[in-house]
Chains A and B, each alone.
Chain A
Amino acid sequence: DTGVSQDPRHKITKRGQNVTFRCDPISEHNRLYWYRQTLGQGPEFLTYFQNEAQLEKSRLLSDRFSAERPKGSFSTLEIQRTEQGDSAMYLCASSYGNSYGYTFGSGTRLTVV
């Protein structure tokens, strides 16, 4: 297993369009996290899954954001009706059980024009 994979690496979209990102975690990891990072800031929590169950979603996350993890494997993050303020790096991370150190992917950089 080569680590956490995210696709695409870069996405440029027009305001108002929908986008979907994919994350493939390390196969034996049961926890999967989505974070958002803007320039000069630390990663900001969006949501996390344990297996297929979404256990928490940030209160900062609008209804335009939705995430899924069918069958507890890969995950998708969808942003509907994108806004310029959605431009950021979207990071996926995974961990195994009580191992609280995360393995991050390289991120998907979203630019909304």
Chain B
Amino acid sequence: QKEVEQDPGPLSVPEGAIVSLNCTYSNSAFQYFMWYRQYSRKGPELLMYTYSSGNKEDGRFTAQVDKSSKYISLFIRDSQPSDSATYLCAMIDTNAGKSTFGDGTTLTVKP
């Protein structure tokens, strides 16, 4: 059983749709939660970084954390073809000092 489970996808949506990407985790010691975007043959790029339960918004992106349910989500509003990529959730147990990643969800936004 992996510590971080991510909805596998792939996900295909029309341009302008709202996208929901989700992860669950089992380690209660995870305190920091991140979302990365990874384009093909590139390194991951940090999108959002949250600590507490609740919502954090950055432009078209909203990260949501529910620590009681051990569940995190990333919402993308007004999705664009340029959002087509693999999205990785990641979490940190500060006692461990390193990030644990999900396996990613590949998103395609069709014009």
Residues of A bordering B, CB below 8 Å: 4, 33, 35, 40-45, 48, 50, 55-56, 91, 93, 100-107, 109
Instruction: Tell me whether B44 and A101 are in contact (CB under 8 A).
Output: no
The distance in angstroms between the C-alpha atoms of A56 and B100, with both chains bound, is 14
20 A-B pairs besides A43-B101, A93-B43 with CB distance below 8 A are A4-B43, A33-B98, A40-B103, A41-B104, A42-B4, A42-B90, A42-B102, A42-B104, A43-B44, A44-B101, A45-B100, A56-B96, A56-B98, A100-B34, A100-B94, A101-B49, A103-B46, A104-B43, A106-B43, A109-B41
Cα distance, A41 to B92, chains bound together (Å): 18
Are B43 and A107 within 8 A (Cβ)? yes
Measured CB to CB, the nearest residue on chain B to A40 is: B103
Partner of B34, one of A101, A106, A107, A109: A101
- Structural contact, A42 and B98, CB atoms closer than 8 A: no
Cβ contact within 8 Å between A55 and B97: yes
What is the interface of chain B, defined by CB distance below 8 A to chain A?
A: 4, 6, 32, 34, 36, 41-46, 49, 88, 90, 92, 94, 96-104
CB of A100 within 8 A of CB of B49, answer yes
- Given contacts A43-B88, A45-B98, is CB(A101)–CB(B43) below 8 Å? no
Among B43, B92, B103, contact of A42 (Cβ-Cβ < 8 Å): B103
B99 and A100 within 8 A (CB): yes
Residues of chain B with a CB closer than 8 A to A104's CB? 36, 43-45
A113 to B86, CA, bound (A): 27
Cα A103 to Cα B34 in complex, Å, equals 12
Contacts of A40 in B (CB 8 A): 103-104
- Contacts known (A101-B49, A107-B43); A41 close to B103, Cβ less than 8 A: yes
Known contacts: A101-B46, A104-B45. The answer to whether A42 contacts B101 by CB under 8 A is yes
> In the complex, what residues of B have CB within 8 A of residue A4's CB?
43
Task: Report, nearest first, the 4 A-B pairs whose CB atoms are least far apart.
Answer: A104-B43, A42-B101, A101-B46, A42-B103
**B100 / chain A contacts, CB cutoff of 8 Å:** 45
A88 to chain B, nearest CB (A): 13
Residue numbers in A under 8 Å from B94 (CB-CB):
100
